[in-house]
Amino acid sequence: MESIKQLALKKIANKTKPLGSLGMLEDCAVRLCEIQQTLDPCVASKKIVVFAGSHGVAEEGVSAFPAAVNEQMVLNFLSGGAGINVLAHHGGIQLGVVDVGVDSDFNGVESTFFTRRTVRRGTRNFAKEPAMTREECAAAMEAGREELRKAAAEGVQMVGTGEMGIANTTAASALFSALLGMEAGISTGRGTGIDNERLLVKTRVVREAVIRYRTIGDSEGPLGWLRAVGGLEIAAITGFILEAAQARVPVVVDGFISTAAATVALAINHACRQVIFFSHKSDEHAHADVLRRLNADPLLDLRLRLGEGTGAALAMHLLDASAKIMCEMASFESAGVSASESEP
């Protein structure tokens, strides 16, 4: 009996076009068939979840923006003024905003798409001590898992990751150095646009953290690295991706920070690869190298570096298009078009 993948390859090959002429759209269509176990994939119902958390390592001066921006940007999301609001609305994508660890109590803040799953009000400064305890990291991951389960129960057919967390490129760079063996000078970039002086500080913080927590990483594996140098929102996205793999829901990974979470998820369970679509290559200089090391083929390269899920929102259009190609495009037989004589 032929597998869904084999049947999907035959179906896409028999569309009214030269073989392979729709490139990555064809690859995506076949993958969606595999994930959903059908020859008629549908990802019309889409949702991006933006996880937000504060980072203690911001105390080291590794970002161009103050930590107070975390709260301010969450409020901006909720008022509809951020880039992700615009792109999600443009694409007909549901949006969820989840506070897993912003250093704010958000008194009086209510929204139909805002969820409080606060583990603690920001991670500890990993330049001095591990960012999270095992229990805190597990709780943040469970918050992500719960969000995926909620989306699946609502009938969402494809999800995307987003994040907000000042200094989270520092945490992501440390995770890439630890899990992919990247030297700190390669994994660490300018993030929000820091100057040379701050870049030197940031690189030093990453390099020293990887040395400091080597014992934790060696004894506890990728979860040890996640709790030692990660962020609450990164841990939540990791749980979100792991649960997506279990539920067989396609998950569109955004940029540099979300890729760090995906790297942790893949290190924990490589089967996550089956449901992950990497949306774009970020303009953060290490991201191209990271994607190569992960053998990932991003859908877009638009020099984005905003985060928030903006790249995921744009890539979702392409994935929706690929599903419709598989379902709606005529075959040579149905259209009465002669197939190529040189192709099988």
Contact between residue 59 and residue 171 where contact means Cβ atoms under 8 Å apart:
no
For the chain, the straight-line distance linking the first and the last C-alpha, in angstroms and rounded, comes to 21
Of 26, 136, 147, 308, catalytic: 308
Distance CA 251, CA 315 (A): 11
Specify whether 308 is catalytic: yes
Contact between residue 303 and residue 234 where contact means Cβ atoms under 8 Å apart:
no
Distance CA 274, CA 165 (A): 28
Contact between residue 58 and residue 194 where contact means Cβ atoms under 8 Å apart:
no
Report how far Cα 239 is from the mean position of its chain's Cα atoms: 11
SS3 state of residue 67: coil
Distance CA 240, CA 13 (A): 34
Please give the positions annotated as active site: 308
